[in-house]
Structure 1
Amino acid sequence: MDTKEILKFCLEKGLLLDKDLLTFFSEELDSDSFKIIIEKIKQATGQKIITKELFEENKERVESFFSGISKESREKLKIRLGLTIEISKEIEKRVQINEGSAKMKRAEKELEGVKILSMHCLPGKKFDVEDFVNFYRTRFNEMKRVIQEKPAMDNPISIDKLNGAKQGVSIIGMVFDKKTTKNKNILIEVEDLTGKIKILVNQGKEELFKKAEEIALDSVIGFKCSGNKDILFANEIIFPETSLLERKKSPNEEHAVFISDVHYGSKNFMKENFDRFIDFMNGNLGNSQEALKIKYLFIVGDLVTGIGNYPHQERDLAIKDLEDQFTGISEFLGKLRKDLKIIISPGNHEGVRLMEPQPLYDEKYAWALYDMDNVILTENPAMLNIGAEKDFSGFNVLLYHGFSFPFFVDNVPRLTKERAMNSPDKIMEYLLKHRHLAPTHGSAQYFPGLKDIHFIKDIPDIFVSGHTHKSAITYHNNILVISGSSWETLTPYQEKFGNTPDHCKVPLLNLKTREVKILDFE
């Protein structure tokens, strides 16, 4: 950005800018990013002179000031300013909820009846091998605690405590390797923080063998065995999954609906169908009494179709600019009644990084959504609570777009055989069994952060995904499992991979009765 343009903008806003900052901004930022940042600083501090000292005095706000620029530029700025910022959980919470500009507040605010439970913090550093080691150690310890609490898991011991022949021994391990022997048995090698051991699962134990076939690499599993320090023989396999004791019911007659994969901006976007959906939500089509009880709309990824996501995507685009796509879909969502709470998480297509946790939409492109008072933007994955009040704990809703799904369909024989990309509820049940959204390394791109963001620590009442473009609903251990359909007709690229999408199917959940119905706008 030209220094003259920077000075002109600051003059118009009644601001003075430090010379060093002027040089940095001119080298690192485009015009739109600079203007967003200056507005945030002005609104948050009220200062008219922007200097290095201003940042020293507002260290806890720096992340929110510069959330609109690339991570690389953000780190360069911190170095240039001489700032070393350690964002503790408390600081992170203040940054995400209480600080920043008005637009950031609107993006991460808590509307009445909606509370964001997950806020992911990534360390501002380059990752190395040691980070991955610590990451997996943390995952192991967290999941070990979960399995230890299960009644079936009595007195587990560490692998280095195995010695002579034992008839009843319990261990908890992370799956290092799994293979089929020449005798068609399954040999699983597991490790804990003290060592490794091989566990044989005999094909003659039919139910146990089926369980072993389901085990994902890198997952943490409990085993009850016999054997010795050289090899163990499995008698029981304990997954970390858990059950909800009941299906909670709200004291209020309220509804929630769930959609995904709108793909606005595509030539194949089903505009007329989406118009009908909006008419219904506003009480102008069909059962208006039912529609007006809808309080929550969840959109679980791929709200817009984006640009450059696959080869020659430009051929499939009606709108070839990402900002225009976000502006256009915001106009659609702006037609919805204002008492409706709209919760939106990202997917593969909206111009955010693929590595998870995926951040909020870039305000530079999605500013129109940030301007909507009834919209909450979240990360992916995300956990939220809706409908809580004084004597009711509300519903915990887990949102995950589903990037890891194809990996498990390709690598788990049962899911491959059942063509589970057409039955995504089976994939979701598989992940709930492992209590993890991407248990195998390589199933999703991720940062080895301070905690494993894919570990399902708190059991949700509702688990919602998208990505497959297939509609599915089921219950798994009293957890409602929902997969969203698509609002984009079959593209040539999808057809090449044999996709058979469902269109315009909208699950509606009555939070008081827990009745679920599918609304069809196709």
Structure 2
Amino acid sequence: MDSEALKNIVRMIATHGLQIEPKALEKLSEFDQDTLYTAVDKILSKVMERGDYIITLNDVEEYFEKRREKVEVSVAVKQVLAKELESKLEVLFDPTDKIHGGDSVENFYKYFKSRFKKLEKILRRRMDVRGSTTISDVLKASLKSHVKFIGMVTEKVKRKGFKIQLEDLESSITVIIPENSDRKLIEKAFIVLQDQVICVSGIKVSEDVVLADDIIFPDIPDHKARRSDEEVYAVLTSDMHVGSKLFMEKCFEKFLRWLNGLEGSEPFRELAGKVKYLLVCGDLVDGIGVYPGQDRELAVDSLTQQYKLVADYFTKIPEHIETVIIPGNHDASRQALPQPAIFRKYSEPLYSLNNVRILGNPCWISIHGVDVLMYHGRSLDDIIAYVPGLTFREPEKAMEILLKARHLAPIYGLRTAIAPEAEDYLVIETEPTIFHSGHVHVAKHKFYRNSLIVNSGAWQEQTDYQKRNGLKPVPGVIPIVNLKTLQIIYIDFRGSGLEARAEAL
């Protein structure tokens, strides 16, 4: 076993807050690379179920022994495959039939009022926000009194500290954070976003100015992640970009062969047999006229024909695998969020497939009892550009900021178009077990307060537009999630064979 594979295993274990004894790691090195990740996945599951934090030599030896016994009695034991399990897919929220649009001043007022009221309600559920008042009450408070209030950010300026303008439904106020403030407060100020709703506590220093001592985000709470009772897997993917000359056709066909159990060694085929769900987070096609110079990179210049090709690929997905599709900014849907499902007039062949659900962006689903928030991720462009230190190589960090803000597109007026609906459907009203996005073309994941954040990569090689904008994709490496344990394995489809990894990069 090579040292890089063992390093990947240590990282995989550390990602879940666990450690491994040196002797246990040495024992694991006796596995061949094809079976190593399956072994670690099962050992992790057992250790986490009993509430321990260290993988011991005994844990590994027990797995060795059970694996040997399984081989000896394999004739009498039948493996439960995904095709033998009943589908448990439930659509919890789909914006398609709820959105109406409009661009009047009244529409915008209703939209931002809805955003404020929803996030204010979430904030007021927090213990550290209790006792907060309106901005009007703060304006009436005496000087040097300690105040706490909720407001929406209308302006943030960094100049020897931060100056933040907040308003609620009645009044506005200025918040000052000096550059010599507590380090944690400065760190919070850096990730405060335009148009997000926050709570501020501090000292009133003049009629309409507060010197902040804390910023409180709506944030998701620590929570118990919902998991499946059965060992089934979900493949998370996005950004196929069919129709582009840079679509990785051969890799995607290899992926389809793997789903059918026709690619890879026995452990890979065994894993494929446990896949019950395929979640596709937008940009199925490259579209037409999406970015400057795109026409030079198109292999298919008909939107209808692009979707016909997608449908042809999806007919090769085993019937027992439930597929859920949402649109991205390259797909045939309106560009403003929330997006309705892909327009049927361009994608009729997709709608005719029995095992495919086509929903809007964003949507909430439940698969085998595990709730999943699917969002294509267009606003990640804005978050990465707005917050210092963020890069496209680490989309999971930008996704974490969205969970802290409890909103999928907090910033209005940048690259992400937002429709002024009467209700803000982009507020994250409950904590997701899995938060799945794409758009950035880099496969990464992390756990945040027991929510699994996954950006699922792509099937398109680097475009000239991406080169000019400094975006280096990691295509053809796909995350697969065990819904019983929430463990992730990445499979790299780019080489002559298949390669399993703990991390995509």
* Same-fold status (TM-score > 0.5): yes
Alignment check: 8 A CA contact 2:110 2:423 kept: no
The partner residue of 1:403 within 358, 375, 378 is 378
The partner residue of 1:201 within 177, 183, 186 is 177
| Deviation per residue, 1:369-388 (Å, 9 max, x gap) | 1000000001011111111x
The secondary structure found in structure 2 opposite 1:280 is: helix
1:254 aligned partner: 232
Q: Say which is worse superposed, 461-470 or 304-313, in terms of deviation.
A: 304-313
Structure number with higher relative contact order (C-alpha < 8 Å, ≥ 6 residues apart): 2
Alignment check: 8 A CA contact 1:187 1:200 kept: yes
Amino acid at match of 1:468: V
1:511 aligned partner: 483
The partner residue of 1:470 within 428, 439, 442 is 442
| Deviation per residue, 1:255-301 (Å, 9 max, x gap) | 00101111111111111111111111111122222111100001111
Alignment check: 8 A CA contact 1:283 1:292 kept: yes
| Deviation per residue, 1:5-45 (Å, 9 max, x gap) | xxxxxxxxxxxxxxxxxxxxxxxxxxxxxxxxxxxxxxxxx
Alignment check: 8 A CA contact 1:296 1:341 kept: yes
The partner residue of 2:408 within 407, 424, 437 is 437
Aligned ranges 1:25-104 → 2 under 5 Å: none
| Deviation per residue, 1:446-468 (Å, 9 max, x gap) | 21112112111121111111111
Find the aligned partners of 1:499 and 1:185 in 2 and give their Cα distance. Answer: 31
Q: Note the C-alpha offset of 1:240.
A: 0.4
Matched, 1:148 2:119: no
Matched, 1:212 2:189: yes
The partner residue of 2:106 within 113, 125, 130 is 130
Alignment check: 8 A CA contact 1:199 1:234 kept: yes
Change (3 A) 1:123 1:278: closer
Matched, 1:178 2:149: no
CA RMSD of aligned residues (A): 1.6
Matched, 1:113 2:85: no
Find the aligned partners of 1:255 and 1:270 in 2 and give their Cα distance. Answer: 24
Matched, 1:502 2:474: yes
Q: Note the C-alpha offset of 1:520.
A: 0.7
Alignment check: 8 A CA contact 1:296 1:340 kept: yes
Alignment check: 8 A CA contact 1:226 1:233 kept: yes
Alignment check: 8 A CA contact 1:474 1:480 kept: yes
Change (3 A) 1:495 1:451: same
1:321 aligned partner: 302
Find the aligned partners of 2:99 and 2:427 in 1 and give their Cα distance. Answer: 18
1:224 aligned partner: 201
Q: Note the C-alpha offset of 1:499.
A: 2.1
Q: Note the C-alpha offset of 1:431.
A: 1.0
Change (3 A) 1:375 1:413: same
Unaligned runs of 5+ residues in structure 1 are: 1-110, 388-393
Matched, 1:363 2:339: no
Alignment check: 8 A CA contact 1:174 1:220 kept: yes
Q: Note the C-alpha offset of 1:124.
A: 5.1
Alignment TM-score, normalising by the size of structure 1: 0.74
Change (3 A) 1:142 1:450: same
The partner residue of 2:276 within 275, 295, 308 is 295
Find the aligned partners of 1:167 and 1:313 in 2 and give their Cα distance. Answer: 58
1:458 aligned partner: 430
Alignment check: 8 A CA contact 1:174 1:218 kept: yes
The partner residue of 1:157 within 110, 133, 146 is 133
The secondary structure found in structure 2 opposite 1:143 is: helix
Find the aligned partners of 1:352 and 1:194 in 2 and give their Cα distance. Answer: 36
The secondary structure found in structure 1 opposite 2:188 is: helix
Change (3 A) 1:518 1:235: same
Amino acid at match of 2:413: G
Find the aligned partners of 2:102 and 2:301 in 1 and give their Cα distance. Answer: 34
Find the aligned partners of 1:185 and 1:498 in 2 and give their Cα distance. Answer: 29
2:451 aligned partner: 479
The secondary structure found in structure 1 opposite 2:347 is: helix
Amino acid at match of 2:400: E
Alignment check: 8 A CA contact 1:307 1:351 kept: no
The secondary structure found in structure 1 opposite 2:128 is: coil
The secondary structure found in structure 2 opposite 1:190 is: strand
Q: Note the C-alpha offset of 1:310.
A: 2.0
The partner residue of 2:362 within 374, 381, 402 is 381
Find the aligned partners of 1:304 and 1:338 in 2 and give their Cα distance. Answer: 22
Q: Note the C-alpha offset of 1:122.
A: 5.2
Find the aligned partners of 1:175 and 1:243 in 2 and give their Cα distance. Answer: 22
Identity %: 34
Q: Say which is worse superposed, 509-518 or 222-231, in terms of deviation.
A: 222-231
Unaligned runs of 5+ residues in structure 2 are: 1-85, 495-505
Matched, 1:192 2:168: yes
Q: Note the C-alpha offset of 1:216.
A: 0.5
Matched, 1:271 2:246: no
2:147 aligned partner: 169
Alignment check: 8 A CA contact 2:324 2:359 kept: yes
Matched, 1:412 2:390: no
| Deviation per residue, 1:399-430 (Å, 9 max, x gap) | 11111111222222232xxxx21211111011
The secondary structure found in structure 2 opposite 1:413 is: coil
Change (3 A) 1:291 1:439: same
Alignment check: 8 A CA contact 2:154 2:167 kept: yes
Amino acid at match of 2:278: L
Change (3 A) 1:210 1:220: same
How many residues are treated as equivalent by the alignment? Answer: 400
Q: Note the C-alpha offset of 1:433.
A: 1.0
Amino acid at match of 2:379: S
Amino acid at match of 1:403: R
